[in-house]
Amino acid sequence: MSIHDDPYADAESAADELRAALLRHGITLPNLGLDLGAIMIGVSAVSLGSVPAEIVRQVTELIP
Q: What is the pLDDT of residues 3-23, one digit of tens each?
A: 668 999 999 999 999 999 999
Give the residue numbers spanning the domain of 10.
3-62
* Beta-bridge partners for 34: 46
**How many domains does the chain contain in total?**
1
Q: What is the pLDDT of residues 19-37, one digit of tens each?
A: 999 999 999 888 888 999 9
pTM strictly above 0.75? yes
Tell me the longest C-alpha to C-alpha distance in the chain. 40
Distance in angstroms (rounded) separating the CA atoms of residues 60 and 2? 31
